[in-house]
Structure 1
Amino acid sequence: MRRRTVVPGNLQELLNSADDSGPDERGPAAAPARGPAPRRATPYEEFAFELPRGYVDDNGTVHHSGAMRLATARDELRPQIDLRVKENPAYLSVVLLSQVITRLGTVSDVHAGVVERMYATDVAFLQDFYRRINSEGHTRAAVTCPHCEGSFEVDLSGGRLGES
């Protein structure tokens, strides 16, 4: 395993270079301008979710279901060099979420523009969902019933309210 020192001047170089698994088989000419193509998540690394409000696409279709993969160190480093994040640090979560959401209904290309157009409720849900799967490794939350004060767990990735 190689060690690299990251200083502000070479962060972009580090992100563009091949990781420790070896060179990219496609070669440098095949790499897209936005960076390397996202790798496919295995079922263990991907978590399904249901948005509270739903993303409304340009055709008016509401998309509730989606999936998010576990984040890599590269996913968390890349937004640090994004000009939009440098201009507005609050934009970091938009860029980060757009990198790890693998599916959103029938939307095939989830990018920052898609996340920008989501309702604030859904973005807040996705930020919490991201934190749970990447920090805690699961989507369950401990809750207490306000009426009987009984404690139990709920799965945040589960169905819509009122559905079983």
Structure 2
Amino acid sequence: MIPQTEFPFSLPQGYIDPEGNLHREGTMRLATAYDEIAPLRDPRVQSNPGYLVIILLSRTIVSLGDVQHINPKMIENLFSADLVYLQDFYQRINQNGNTRFLVICPHCQGEFQVETVPTGE
């Protein structure tokens, strides 16, 4: 079975493009080692380590609404709540490989998976 490598998300506020269109639904892929290493050479990251998240998200977000080419400038223009949401989403899919967790029912001891819903959804 091929593991899932892309995950859908819905931004709490949404990205407003230069034409005024709102984009909320998107897809993020799992990060590669290169995705995390390459931005360290970027002068923006070297002068401001906080910029690393902007580069990481611009590399791993596959689509956002009708926008297919995601770039750092676009990520810079997200609302703060959306940036926090995407940072959390990035961590969850890259640490767990999914957005689901195995849980055990305290009453029947049955095991099942639940989908986590991050703040803002």
Alignment correspondent of 2:91? 131
Q: Which stretches of structure 1, 4 residues or longer, exceed 6 Å deviation after superposition? A: none
- Counterpart check, 1:113 vs 2:73: yes
Structure 2 CA distance for partners of 1:122 and 1:60, relative to 1, 3 Å? same
Report % sequence identity: 44
User: In the TM superposition, what are the counterparts of 1:73-112 in structure 2 within 5 Å?
Assistant: 73-112=33-72
Structure 2 CA distance for partners of 1:141 and 1:119, relative to 1, 3 Å? farther
Deviation at 1:102, TM superposition (A): 0.1
SS of equivalent residue, structure 2 residue 27: strand
Tell me which structure has the larger Cα radius of gyration.
1
User: Which of the numbers 97, 113, 117 marks the counterpart of 1:156?
Assistant: 117
Unaligned runs of 5+ in 2: 103-113
Higher-RCO chain (CA-CA 8 Å, sequence separation at least 6): 2
Structure 2 CA distance for partners of 1:63 and 1:141, relative to 1, 3 Å? farther
SS of equivalent residue, structure 1 residue 66: strand
Greater strand share, structure number: 2
The alignment of Structure 1 onto Structure 2 pairs a total of residues equal to 109
**Superposition TM-score, scaled by structure 2 size:** 0.82
CA RMSD in angstroms comes to: 2.3
Q: In terms of mean alpha carbon deviation, does 133-142 or 113-122 score higher? A: 133-142
Unaligned runs of 5+ in 1: 1-41, 143-152
User: In the TM superposition, what are the counterparts of 1:6-155 in structure 2 within 5 Å?
Assistant: 44-140=4-100, 153-155=114-116
Inter-partner Cα distance in structure 1 for 2:56 and 2:10: 19
**CA displacement, residues 79-125 of structure 1 (integer Å, 9 cap, x when unaligned):** 10000000111000000000000010001210001100000100100
Deviation at 1:137, TM superposition (A): 1.6
